[in-house]
Amino acid sequence: MNETSRITFDPNVMGGKPCVRRLRVTVGTIVGLLAAGRTQEEILAAYPYLEAPDIQACLSYAAWRSEEAEVPLP
């Protein structure tokens, strides 16, 4: 499973927000926990169904989204 395939979008799961592997864990939740100072080990202990590459995928997705620019249509 590559990094990008770990981030999924489903309008029936968490309102279509980017989630980890169709689980009810959003990218925002993981990035927020990291920003709050939680370690990868703490996150994996709190969410035992996650895997270490899931956390890396969340960071990669968040970095990519922060670089994306929205351009208004004429």
pLDDT in tens, 32-72: 999 999 999 999 999 999 999 999 999 999 999 888 777 88
Q: Is the pLDDT of residue 4 over 90?
A: no
Give the Cα separation of 23 and 58 in Å (integer): 13
Q: Domains plus CATH for the chain?
A: 4-64 (1.10.10.10)
pLDDT at 3: 67
Contact 28, 66 (CB under 8 A): no
pLDDT at 2: 59
pLDDT at 72: 85
